[in-house]
A and B are shown apart, each in its own frame.
Chain A
Amino acid sequence: MAHLPDIEANGATRKGRTGFVLTQSGRKVLWAWSFLALPILFYSWIRFYPTLSAFWISFTDWDLLRPANFVGLENYQKLFADPVFWKVFRNTFAYLIIGTPISLLLSFVIAYYLDKVTFMHSFLRALYFLPFLTTAAAMAWVWRWFYQPIPIGIINGILSNLHLPAQQFLRSPAQALPSIMVTGIWAGLGFQIIIFMAGLRAIPSTYYEAARIDGLGEWAILRKITLPLLKPTTVFLVVFSSIGFLRIFDQVYNMTSNDPGGPLNSTKPLVMMIYQTAFSSFDMGYAAAQTVVLFLILLVVSLGQLFVLRNR
């Protein structure tokens, strides 16, 4: 932008019919804003306006059919007193705190070794990426059948052949959440591997050559060169994957559709509670209050991660 005054000084001026004068740079700015106006208006209307109105709705008892009444903090009081909310809150953080590190660790390890493989490299990479292209609902249903009891569940079939006791998986309040999380991790793996590999490829090979000439071991190279230089990629994936796990819905809904978020709310994430409150009980005010809480969680988690992983 430093060259702007120059242009303004030499810029031609023009007298329009209306008489106001625009310098060349002024016209550039006007053009830029007229192009930007459309997406800005669109986003304000489609994104920001509903976001703000959600805050307002959360203070009302709107049920879609009757006019909304202002009820103050009643929805929030109800929310914090609701044992289901706290269970759902714990589930949401379980998805996040267990899911994100495991998925990142797995995808890094796979990307790290896949990067070194030259034999059928493209084919293997495509294989890992394939689940990411599949519809979440279709994947969830396939996994749902994997987890079934005997005689149709393939995992229980294998356990039975090994003379191990059958597991309840999705029918067990303790096992259901990890069972669904495995699917979630597997579904996101392909994308994370590709991003990690792009990050690895972007590290100049001269650094590695220099390190090897200096006699550094592989472990030291990984710790001193690869990981630090991979940091922007890691930050992106941590934030991206965290938001993904905080918003998990498709897998849970499709794998537990007989008893959504069950058994006994053991797999229900906050997003599903919002969905049910809004579109099954039609309690829009209460659902909006839950949405505001989810928004604040996402905000705090994202800002916290950016702060922790910032460049010092």
Chain B
Amino acid sequence: MRKRFTLASLVAGISFMALSSAQAVEIEYWQYVFETRVNAMDQLISNFEAANPDITVKQVTFPYADYQTKVIASQAGGNGPDVLQFFYGWLDKFQQGGVLQPLDEAVFPTAEIESEFFPIVSAVKRDGAYYGLPTAVRSLALFYNKKLLDEAGVAPPTTLDELVDVAMQTTKTDGGGNITSEGLTLDFAGQDHHWWREVLVRQMGGEPYDANGNVSYATDAGLQALNFYTDLQTAHNVGLVGFMDEGQAAFKAGLAAMTVDGTFRLGAFSAITDFEWGVVELPANADGVRSNYASYFANGIGSGATEEKKAAAEKFLAYISSTEAMQVWLDVVGELPARRDAALTEANLADPIYAPFLKGLEYAHTTTFVDEAGQRQTAVDMVNRVLLENQDPQASLDEAAAAEQAMIDAAKK
């Protein structure tokens, strides 16, 4: 009798184990290596797993430089991730290549997304379907070193003219005329190409791209914007491209009074102990026109996720784009929440650091990239031709516009 009972309980135990193992799903989440992002995601995964004991999420990371290659190669090899992070500018490539599947309208209703997220979320919408949702969004602002500005007795600039003026007063040079501390960092390969494209060109009265997505900056406005930028080095001598290797390194070392950078830099700059720093909105032009560049990494569902994996991936995506997850992301990474209600809280709007970035989001533009690295390179080369080869700015601008248009045309083919 006892034997039979033992046997029965054993059978029951085995079948229970079999049942629970059938329910347990493991999904893979991919993002690139950036310490605070990986930490934030670890925290989100453990919260999610506690609430959903039948789902385990495995986080896989790759260096940023290899990330796109890994995603595309894994797609070609047929073993891609279930949920992955992607830059909004990569969507065309990923969508055409079948890396991502569109979000299910029943689980993520379009109307809800569009009313709850900032409008820039529409950059991951194709043919009426969303391909991902962001946790956080990024915008640009002007960081300034309080110590250097106080030494020069100047206040943070609010207009472009003031920017040049403050930069001139805070630049330090040695006897040979070499800059030893910059007024404003010049790092076009960093965030400055966004500042030029979406902010300066617009402030000079132009549009970087027309309604069809074609290049439209080879105009007087584009030329003025280019001249404004290159004059900072050649005429005003307030910065030097390549100084301290990168703009953010110069600012972090206390050898630059101001730098244009994004929310994602907050984490790195919070480690600065030598001086106090502050943030203001990007300077307006003389007529008070402001602009900003916003961007984001979205999380999407890999095309390989089906049935229970797809259901688990949807649950996980819903969690990491929830208000709760956005707060974790803001606390750990320092990036702004992508949902309006999570972002525009009283606490955030009163925060001297977050407020300028949040204000920037209201008038921000998002560039539709077809080849982000390639288009950045054309902009970097445009400035280099003027600064290093003394090419006529108009000619350099025309050359850059033609090269970028060729990339856009090639992508449309």
Residue B103 at the chain A interface, CB threshold 8 Å: no
Given contacts A65-B99, A160-B174, A280-B374, contact A150 B180 (CB under 8 A): yes
Residue A39 at the chain B interface, CB threshold 8 Å: no
Which residue from A148, A166, A280 sits with its C-beta under 8 Å from B176? A166
Kindly specify which of B41-49, B69-77, B115-123, B337-345 makes contact with the partner chain: B69-77
When C-beta atoms are compared, the residue in chain B nearest to A141 turns out to be B245
Closest approach, in angstroms, between the C-beta of A234 and any C-beta of chain B? 39
Closest approach, in angstroms, between the C-beta of B70 and any C-beta of chain A? 10
Residue B385 at the chain A interface, CB threshold 8 Å: yes
Kindly specify which of A94-102, A126-134, A169-177 makes contact with the partner chain: A169-177
Interchain CB contact under 8 A, A170 and B242: yes
Closest approach, in angstroms, between the C-beta of B249 and any C-beta of chain A? 9
User: What are the residues of chain B within 8 A of A15 when measuring CB–CB?
Assistant: none
The contact string, 1 if C-beta is below 8 Å from chain A, for chain B 223-253, is 0000000000000000011111110000000
Q: How far is the CA of A172 from the CA of B97 in the complex (A)?
A: 39
Residue A258 at the chain B interface, CB threshold 8 Å: yes
Interchain CB contact under 8 A, A65 and B75: yes
Interchain CB contact under 8 A, B178 and A160: yes
Residue B112 at the chain A interface, CB threshold 8 Å: no
Which residue from A144, A148, A168, A282 sits with its C-beta under 8 Å from B93? A282
> Shortest 8 CB-CB distances between A and B: which pairs?
A65-B97, A150-B178, A171-B242, A263-B384, A279-B69, A258-B189, A280-B373, A151-B180
**Considering only CB atoms and an 8 Å cut-off, how many residues of chain B contact the other chain?**
35
The contact string, 1 if C-beta is below 8 Å from chain A, for chain B 350-390, is 00000000000000000000010110010011001100110
Q: How far is the CA of A150 from the CA of B96 in the complex (A)?
A: 47
Additional A-B contacts beyond A65-B75, A149-B179, A258-B245 (11; CB < 8 A): A65-B93, A145-B245, A148-B245, A150-B174, A150-B178, A151-B255, A171-B241, A259-B189, A264-B384, A264-B388, A281-B374
Residue B102 at the chain A interface, CB threshold 8 Å: no
Q: How far is the CA of A258 from the CA of B96 in the complex (A)?
A: 29
User: What are the residues of chain B within 8 A of A65 when measuring CB–CB?
Assistant: 72, 75-76, 93, 96-99
Closest approach, in angstroms, between the C-beta of B55 and any C-beta of chain A? 29
Q: Give residues in A with beta carbon < 8 Å to B.
A: 63-66, 144-145, 148-152, 156, 160, 163, 165-166, 168, 170-173, 258-259, 262-264, 279-282
Interchain CB contact under 8 A, A165 and B176: yes
Q: How far is the CA of A64 from the CA of B76 in the complex (A)?
A: 6
Interchain CB contact under 8 A, B242 and A152: no
User: What are the residues of chain B within 8 A of A170 when measuring CB–CB?
Assistant: 242
In the complex, 24 of the A-B residue pairs with CB atoms within 8 angstroms, ordered by the A residue number, are A64-B73, A65-B96, A66-B97, A148-B244, A148-B245, A149-B242, A150-B179, A156-B178, A160-B178, A170-B242, A171-B241, A173-B389, A258-B189, A258-B246, A259-B380, A262-B381, A262-B384, A264-B381, A264-B384, A264-B385, A264-B389, A280-B374, A282-B69, A282-B72
User: What are the residues of chain B within 8 A of A151 when measuring CB–CB?
Assistant: 180, 255
Q: How far is the CA of A306 from the CA of B273 in the complex (A)?
A: 61
User: What are the residues of chain A within 8 A of B384 when measuring CB–CB?
Assistant: 173, 259, 262-264
User: What are the residues of chain B within 8 A of A149 when measuring CB–CB?
Assistant: 178-179, 240, 242-243
User: What are the residues of chain B within 8 A of A165 when measuring CB–CB?
Assistant: 176
Closest approach, in angstroms, between the C-beta of B389 and any C-beta of chain A? 7
When C-beta atoms are compared, the residue in chain B nearest to A164 turns out to be B176
User: What are the residues of chain B within 8 A of A258 when measuring CB–CB?
Assistant: 187, 189, 242, 245-246
Closest approach, in angstroms, between the C-beta of B35 and any C-beta of chain A? 19
User: What are the residues of chain A within 8 A of B246 when measuring CB–CB?
Assistant: 258
Q: Is the interface of A mostly helix, strand, loop or mixed?
A: loop
Closest approach, in angstroms, between the C-beta of A243 and any C-beta of chain B? 26
When C-beta atoms are compared, the residue in chain A nearest to B380 turns out to be A259
User: What are the residues of chain A within 8 A of B377 when measuring CB–CB?
Assistant: 259
Q: How far is the CA of A64 from the CA of B381 in the complex (A)?
A: 28
Q: How far is the CA of A63 from the CA of B377 in the complex (A)?
A: 20
When C-beta atoms are compared, the residue in chain B nearest to A66 turns out to be B97
Q: How far is the CA of A151 from the CA of B175 in the complex (A)?
A: 13
Interchain CB contact under 8 A, A166 and B389: no
Q: How far is the CA of A172 from the CA of B241 in the complex (A)?
A: 11
Interchain CB contact under 8 A, B174 and A64: no
The contact string, 1 if C-beta is below 8 Å from chain A, for chain B 95-137, is 0111100000000000000000000000000000000000000
Q: How far is the CA of A151 from the CA of B245 in the complex (A)?
A: 11
User: What are the residues of chain B within 8 A of A262 when measuring CB–CB?
Assistant: 380-381, 384
User: What are the residues of chain B within 8 A of A172 when measuring CB–CB?
Assistant: 388
User: What are the residues of chain A within 8 A of B244 when measuring CB–CB?
Assistant: 148, 152
Closest approach, in angstroms, between the C-beta of B399 and any C-beta of chain A? 11
Given contacts A64-B72, A66-B97, contact A263 B388 (CB under 8 A): yes
User: What are the residues of chain B within 8 A of A145 when measuring CB–CB?
Assistant: 245
When C-beta atoms are compared, the residue in chain A nearest to B385 turns out to be A264
> In chain B between 34 and 75, which residues have their CB closer than 8 angstroms to a CB of chain A?
69, 72-73, 75
User: What are the residues of chain B within 8 A of A152 when measuring CB–CB?
Assistant: 244
User: What are the residues of chain A within 8 A of B388 when measuring CB–CB?
Assistant: 168, 171-173, 263-264
Which residue from B96, B374, B380 sits with its C-beta under 8 Å from A66? B96
Q: How far is the CA of A248 from the CA of B66 in the complex (A)?
A: 20
Q: How far is the CA of A145 from the CA of B246 in the complex (A)?
A: 12
Closest approach, in angstroms, between the C-beta of A262 and any C-beta of chain B? 7
Q: How far is the CA of A173 from the CA of B174 in the complex (A)?
A: 25
Q: How far is the CA of A72 from the CA of B73 in the complex (A)?
A: 25
User: What are the residues of chain B within 8 A of A279 when measuring CB–CB?
Assistant: 69
Closest approach, in angstroms, between the C-beta of B11 and any C-beta of chain A? 49
Closest approach, in angstroms, between the C-beta of B356 and any C-beta of chain A? 26
When C-beta atoms are compared, the residue in chain B nearest to A144 turns out to be B245
When C-beta atoms are compared, the residue in chain B nearest to A150 turns out to be B178
Q: How far is the CA of A65 from the CA of B98 in the complex (A)?
A: 8
User: What are the residues of chain A within 8 A of B385 when measuring CB–CB?
Assistant: 264
Q: How far is the CA of A279 from the CA of B73 in the complex (A)?
A: 10
Q: How far is the CA of A165 from the CA of B174 in the complex (A)?
A: 12
Interchain CB contact under 8 A, B97 and A64: yes
Q: How far is the CA of A196 from the CA of B180 in the complex (A)?
A: 45
> In chain B between 192 and 242, which residues have their CB closer than 8 angstroms to a CB of chain A?
240-242
Q: How far is the CA of A63 from the CA of B411 in the complex (A)?
A: 12
